[in-house]
């Protein structure tokens, strides 16, 4: 992106060993996404803290504090990731930052072992927020490797492989954690107490950093050595990307569509368990089954829609999934039985992996063909993703508070998918033209 900047090191495109190495990063960090953010930590947080807690001098419910922790993490991520990836593009330090965020997230997970009750709530909040930052920060640089290791015709399949590795790895670790939690006596642990759950946090941290060594060894190494003025250059690279996107009609339309439907997708993923618990009286063990159904079915869904995209194109595939998401939101409003909700969870799983995978690969197809440095562009994509999460979860909570019903909030999510579908109709998936380096700042 800068004339005086050396090109990034290259590897043979579509090399199976490199692609599998890249996908193992998803295997490594998806354990955090599943175990910490969805399956175990949310319930643990509310169980070990008092119903009302004081944090930073403010009295609030523990549920509100957990929600605010998510918002704080994503606000921080939205601010930091574009700056850091801009630095990475100019300084050529993708791997440096990928490692930094991985280590940060791993240590944060392990620190949660010392979060036992309300008196350690600061450890719980800080560990959770830093884990979220580590996960999202590493994801920016992980995504940016996709155009560097795969040809355009392989984007969909390679992206789906990453999500599949992530689903398989996270499910394996979750099942292991659940065995320890359900049968602590098998491992010499007391049946009462929180030790088994707290050990799962250490396992996530070790799993994350341990398997991340594979992509660290197989992905292209950093060779640029720019060290002066990296902070200022990071901002300048971001400004260039922003100005470049202003002239790319198709990229702007796609990102607008992505913002709305992703707000719906991510809100469903974060709050599906809460919906099941409050509206349908699901027990914790039943919620875990819901999570496992989502993850397992999502493996097939990612590949199913990757294949459909090869035959009919990305746009049609995403539109089909958005129609399914709209139907799911409508049925969720009506669902009353647990068996029906399990079936609904399977439906979510089918489109959950596919829409995330194809969204990432579709964005890659909209980037300029001769673009070497992609971190800043994928950072912009990640910022849209994170702001959509903040927007979606806030609206969901607001509607729930106003109406007293999470079912009404689910219908609002259906509107998000409908808006995304309407905007996506006008997208043409063609490569961007022009050069970022030509943009004046």
Q: Evaluate whether residue 4 is within a structural domain.
A: no
Q: 323 vs 133, 328, 351, 427, CA distance in Å?
A: 32, 9, 10, 17
In the chain, the number of structural domains is 1
What is the band of 362 on the pLDDT scale with cuts at 50, 70, 90?
confident
Question: Is residue 271 a contact partner of residue 287, using CB atoms and an 8 Å limit?
Answer: no
* Residues of the domain holding 133: 16-438
Q: Is the pLDDT of residue 109 over 90?
A: yes
- Give the model's pLDDT for residue 261: 94
Q: Evaluate whether residue 249 is within a structural domain.
A: yes
- Give the model's pLDDT for residue 268: 84
pLDDT in tens, 235-258: 676 677 777 877 778 888 999 999
Q: Evaluate whether residue 8 is within a structural domain.
A: no
- Give the model's pLDDT for residue 324: 93
Q: Evaluate whether residue 7 is within a structural domain.
A: no
Q: Evaluate whether residue 5 is within a structural domain.
A: no
Calpha distance 322→344 (Å, rounded): 15
Nearest to residue 202, comparing CAs of 35, 37, 26, 65?
35
Question: Is residue 313 a contact partner of residue 233, using CB atoms and an 8 Å limit?
Answer: no
pLDDT in tens, 15-52: 889 999 999 999 999 999 888 887 788 778 878 888 78
Write the CATH number for 302. Answer: 1.20.1250.20
Calpha distance 197→204 (Å, rounded): 11
Mean pLDDT of 164-178: 87
Question: Is residue 36 a contact partner of residue 131, using CB atoms and an 8 Å limit?
Answer: yes
Q: Evaluate whether residue 144 is within a structural domain.
A: yes
- Give the model's pLDDT for residue 4: 38
Mean pLDDT of the chain, nearest integer: 81
Q: Evaluate whether residue 392 is within a structural domain.
A: yes
Mean pLDDT of 339-345: 86
Mean pLDDT of 416-438: 78
pTM of the model: 0.74
Q: What percent of the chain has pLDDT over 70?
A: 85
Q: Is the pLDDT of residue 226 over 80?
A: no
H or E element at residue 60: strand 58-61
Calpha distance 150→13 (Å, rounded): 5
What is the band of 9 on the pLDDT scale with cuts at 50, 70, 90?
low
* DSSP 3-state of 52: strand
Q: Evaluate whether residue 377 is within a structural domain.
A: yes
Nearest to residue 106, comparing CAs of 219, 217, 222, 213?
213
Q: Select the more confidently predicted residue: 402 or 110.
A: 110
């Amino acid at each position: 992106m800068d004339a005086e900047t050396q090109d990034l090191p290259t590897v043979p495109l579509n090399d199976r060993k490199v692609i599998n190495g890249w996908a193992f990063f998803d295997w490594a960090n998806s354990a955090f996404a599943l175990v910490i953010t969805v399956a175990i930590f949310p319930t643990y947080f509310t169980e070990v803290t008092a119903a009302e807690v004081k944090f930073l001098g403010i009295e609030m419910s523990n549920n509100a504090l957990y929600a605010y922790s998510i918002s704080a993490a994503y606000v921080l991520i939205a601010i930091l990731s574009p700056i850091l990836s801009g630095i990475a593009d100019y300084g050529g330090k993708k791997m440096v930052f990928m490692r930094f965020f991985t280590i940060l997230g791993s240590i944060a997970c392990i620190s949660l072992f010392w979060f036992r009750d309300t008196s350690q709530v600061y450890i719980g909040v800080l560990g959770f927020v830093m884990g979220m930052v580590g996960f999202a920060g590493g994801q920016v640089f992980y995504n940016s490797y996709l155009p560097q290791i795969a040809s355009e015709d392989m984007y969909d399949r390679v992206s789906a492989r990453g999500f599949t590795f992530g689903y398989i790895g996270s499910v394996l670790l979750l099942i292991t954690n659940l065995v320890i939690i359900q049968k602590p006596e098998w491992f010499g642990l007391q049946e009462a107490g929180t030790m088994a759950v707290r050990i799962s946090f250490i396992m996530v941290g070790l799993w994350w950093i341990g398997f991340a060594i594979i992509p660290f060894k197989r992905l292209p190494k950093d060779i640029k050595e720019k060290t002066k003025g990296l902070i200022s250059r990071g901002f300048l690279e971001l400004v260039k990307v922003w100005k470049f996107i202003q002239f790319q009609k198709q990229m702007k339309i796609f990102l607008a569509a992505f913002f709305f439907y992703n707000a719906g997708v991510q809100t469903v993923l974060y709050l599906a368990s809460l919906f099941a618990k409050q509206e349908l009286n699901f027990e914790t063990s039943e919620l875990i089954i819901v999570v496992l159904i989502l993850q397992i079915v999502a493996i097939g869904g990612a590949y199913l829609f990757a294949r459909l995209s090869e035959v009919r194109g990305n746009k049609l595939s995403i539109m089909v999934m958005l129609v399914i998401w709209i139907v799911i939101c409508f049925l969720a409003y009506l669902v009353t039985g647990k068996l029906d909700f399990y079936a609904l969870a399977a439906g979510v799983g089918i489109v959950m992996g596919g829409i995330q995978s194809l969204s990432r690969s579709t964005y890659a197809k909209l980037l300029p063909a001769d673009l070497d440095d992609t971190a800043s562009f994928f950072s912009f994509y990640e910022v849209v993703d994170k702001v959509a999460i903040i927007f979606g979860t806030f609206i969901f909570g607001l509607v729930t508070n106003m109406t007293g019903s999470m079912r009404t909030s689910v219908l609002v999510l259906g509107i998000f998918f409908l808006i995304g579908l309407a905007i996506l109709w006008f997208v043409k998936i063609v490569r961007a033209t022009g050069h970022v380096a030509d943009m004046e700042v």
